[in-house]
Structure 1
Amino acid sequence: MTAELSWRKSSYSGSGGGDCVEVAQTPGTVHVRASKEQRGPVLSVPSGQWAEFVAFARGSRG
């Protein structure tokens, strides 16, 4: 499944080769993986729950 996804690296990831997070979206789901382990595990989260997580992380949870 992960082969056909279009992955984007976090804008907060540096270019120094450190720990990076990548995400890919499909209808209704956001997939998350470590960029260093592209063949490793993928966390798949419903889009609504991902939006809540991002809002919480930004400190704007309402």
Structure 2
Amino acid sequence: MGGQDCDYLYSSRDLSAFELAIQTATSRVQVVEVLHGFNLTEEDFTDSFPDLAKTVQNLPDRTSPAA
């Protein structure tokens, strides 16, 4: 995925953790929380990780309530 040159993620471990957190998020709210945890703005995210940003577009706005 893109973002290999992102100034905000300094190591491959950080990058892997970030990508995994985004890929396993179940809502856009969780994605925003991940971005804040990695000190990334939404604009930096979409610019640096366009493929991940596309997958986030398909997520619901909120997490589903537990059944």
Is TM > 0.5 for Structure 1 vs Structure 2?
no
TM-score, with length taken from structure 1: 0.28
More RCO (CA 8 Å, sep 6+): 2
In our comparison, the structure showing a higher alpha carbon Rg is 1
Identify the structure with the greater helix proportion: 2
